[in-house]
Amino acid sequence: MARTDLSIELTGLALENPAILAAGVLGTTGSSLKRIADSGAGAVVTKSIGIEPKPGHPNPTMFKLGCGFLNAMGLPNPSYKEFRGELITAREGGVPVIASVFGAHPDEFSQIITGLDGADAYELNVSCPHASGYGAAVGTDPVLVTEITKAAKQAANAPVWVKLTPNVTDIVEIGEAAQKGGADAVVAINTVRGMAIDIHSGYPILGNRFGGLSGAAIHPVAVKCVYDLYQALDIPVIGVGGIANYQDVVEMMMAGACAVQIGSAVYDSINIFNEVTAGLARYLADNSMELDDIIGMAHRKVGR
Amino acid sequence: MKPRNAIITEVIHETPTITTLKMDLKLEALPGQFVMVWVRGLDEVPMALSHPDAITVQRVGEATNVLSGMQVGDSIGIRGPFGNGFELEGTRIMLIAGGVGGAPLLPLARLAYAKGLDMTTIVGARTGDELLFEQQFSQCGRVSVATDDGSKGYHGFVTELVNQFDLESFDQLYVCGPELMMKGVLDILQAQAIEARSQFSLHRYFKCGIGVCGACTIDPSGQRVCKDGPVFKGDMLIYSELGKYHRDATGKKIVQERFEDSL
């Protein structure tokens, strides 16, 4: 039997499959990104890169809960100047490398993108929930999101994706702001604000006190956000949030995602990308369908 | 998992800079596995388990300073055990422990002793009073000592003492200590083409400790020290960054300091 074709064209990039490594996970070094490319990811996103070196928040920065993971890394990164070499190494993996970028205002995004030339696409992090002055601090303001996206588009010689935060009243408004700024795609969602307290001592556990929830707990939140964005936007939606198996991928695509990103699930298996793409191919073959048949299927079933 | 609450039940000052904290928690761990130790409100750091219910801390920074000053009744948070530990192989083994590197090797020595293996341990430190677990290792097999200043045992580096043994005669060698000591040992093993018979416990800057964030990955394999390690086979490390550089909290490469400064 011929292997089911999972290849997609996403904002002008050719991907062998739609399973992408999410930002912030195993993306600190080029060799780590290469390893994930070798383990079957269709593309990889780097750790978010900024202007200056940042050590991030004090530990604990991440731990597992019964329902998912809490993290507050605090955007640790060596600066875009130091990261250039890692990007070159990462591209040896043979899959598109998307540079995740964070800044406090449009000029910073432009500077980083210009200085981090050579990425296959740029993903604007306007959604990290726990870095003061960055991430969701700018990504909850639709006017700023449009301005940042415009500036990034001007600076970039490659597609620009905008990663959205769910920690807003209406994610569609922010998605529309990104589209208005010229975004080639939106990525939904980043982590959901959360916190855990040690009952033995009363201390918040995360070094930053609060952080972002990822994993299974946020999957239904992400599905709803992707569903709403697909309905409202004309640009592609990339779905991320609690994807741990091929069934989650199928569900996210039925909500409207044309590709997915996987993060926390590498905890269970570093081979997760091979696993979900094999499952997805089998699912499509068993149901005599192609990827296009499932993308947005839930909308068509109920009438868009 | 959220950190488990551990109350300190005993404080043992092993050397002027190294302290063992016994806890009211007994963890089922393989020798060489580690725990994340949370000093509440300050930081969380990876530490080897030196006993099922104890960690052994060297004062090197803020968190380990606070840990070193802890009293019976104080408490810490513990997550783990995490990572892959040492695997016992063969019947005649050598353990090479530099400084606080003896901490993850002690449970291995105890397990090897219980299994009746023939064991030689090399314990090294800057000075005689900084030797860790010399007596405990000697209860499990032969011990040779090296000190930089010659105040006890062989006068010189651990690597020089290692070179005096017929390394071919050992089925497996287990190493933990300062990075450049480990690199020195690896070079010796490679020169004799026996690096595949060795296991090294690495240290790198850890954030999540559970294999997700990627802060501790090593080049060029992209292996995660916290999850794929911290114990790696010598032949896996030959062309790695070991002894050349590591990364700081930002992910920036830090070129390894001189050999003598690292011992």
Q: What is the pLDDT of residues A198-241, one digit of tens each?
A: 999 999 999 999 999 999 999 999 999 999 999 999 999 999 99
Q: What is the percent of chain B with per-residue pLDDT over 90, rounded to a whole number?
A: 97
Say if the Cβ atoms of B212 and A201 lie within 8 Å: no
**End-to-end C-alpha distance for chain A, whole angstroms:** 35
What pLDDT sits at residue B258? 54
What pLDDT sits at residue A304? 57
Tokens at B35, concatenated: 């725990």
CA distances B34 to A9, A61, A265, B88, B206, Å, are: 44, 17, 22, 17, 12
Residue A203 contacts B, CB cutoff 8 Å = yes
Q: What is the pLDDT of residues A70-115, one digit of tens each?
A: 999 999 999 999 999 999 999 999 999 999 999 999 999 999 999 9
Say if the Cβ atoms of A59 and B207 lie within 8 Å: yes
Tokens at A21, concatenated: 């490594």
What pLDDT sits at residue A57? 96
Identify the closest residue of chain A to B228 by CA–CA distance.
Answer: A270
Tokens at B1, concatenated: 């998992």
Tokens at A9, concatenated: 């064209």
B-facing residues of A in 134-193 (CB < 8 A) are none
Chain B nearest C-alpha distance from A150 (Å): 29
Q: Is the pLDDT of residue B257 over 80?
A: no
d(CA B51, CA B199): 20
Do B122 and B82 meet the contact criterion of CB atoms below 8 Å apart? no
What's the burial of B238, exposed, middle or buried (CB within 10 Å: 0-12/13-18/19+)? middle
Q: Is the pLDDT of residue A172 over 50?
A: yes
Q: Is the pLDDT of residue B92 over 50?
A: yes
Q: Which of B50, B171, B164, B160 is nearest to B118 (CA)?
A: B171
Q: What is the pLDDT of residues B51-80, one digit of tens each?
A: 999 999 999 999 999 999 999 999 999 999
**Confidence tier at A137 by pLDDT (50, 70, 90):** confident
Q: Is the pLDDT of residue B260 over 60?
A: no
A-facing residues of B in 16-45 (CB < 8 A) are 36, 38, 40-45
Q: Which residues of A touch B222 (CB under 8 A)?
A: 26, 29, 31-36
Q: What is the pLDDT of residues B113-133, one digit of tens each?
A: 999 999 999 999 999 999 999
Q: In terms of pTM, does the model score above 0.80?
A: yes
The length of chain A in residues reads 304
Comparing CB atoms, the residue among A53, A62, A267 nearest residue B252 is A53
Q: Is the pLDDT of residue A12 over 90?
A: yes
**Confidence tier at A129 by pLDDT (50, 70, 90):** confident
Q: What is the pLDDT of residues A28-76, one digit of tens each?
A: 999 999 999 999 999 999 999 999 999 999 999 999 999 999 999 999 9
Residue A17 contacts B, CB cutoff 8 Å = no
d(CA A79, CA A236): 29
d(CA B113, CA A301): 67
**Confidence tier at B262 by pLDDT (50, 70, 90):** very low
* Backbone φ and ψ of A69, nearest 5°: -130, 145
What pLDDT sits at residue A3? 59
Chain B nearest C-alpha distance from A241 (Å): 15
Q: What is the pLDDT of residues A146-170, one digit of tens each?
A: 999 999 999 999 999 999 999 999 9
Over residues A253-273, mean pLDDT: 97
What pLDDT sits at residue A138? 84
d(CA A90, CA B227): 21
d(CA A37, CA A167): 30
SS3 assignment, position A166: coil
- Residues of A with a catalytic annotation lie at 128
Q: Which residues of B touch A47 (CB under 8 A)?
A: 214, 251
Identify the closest residue of chain B to A89 by CA–CA distance.
Answer: B220
Say if the Cβ atoms of A26 and B208 lie within 8 Å: no
**Confidence tier at A4 by pLDDT (50, 70, 90):** confident
Q: What is the pLDDT of residues B215-233, one digit of tens each?
A: 999 999 999 999 999 999 9
- Strand B154-155: give its sheet, edge to edge: B154-155, B142-147, B118-125, B92-98, B172-176, B198-201, B231-233
Q: Is the pLDDT of residue A1 over 60?
A: no
Tell me the DSSP string of B103-122: HHHHHHHHHHHHTT-EEEEE
Do A57 and A72 meet the contact criterion of CB atoms below 8 Å apart? yes
Chain B nearest C-alpha distance from A275 (Å): 17
Over residues B22-42, mean pLDDT: 96
Residue A245 contacts B, CB cutoff 8 Å = no
What pLDDT sits at residue B259? 42
Q: Which residues of A touch B44 (CB under 8 A)?
A: 58-61, 207
Over residues B46-50, mean pLDDT: 96
Residue A61 contacts B, CB cutoff 8 Å = yes
Q: Residue B1 corresponds to which amino acid?
A: M
d(CA B187, CA A42): 38
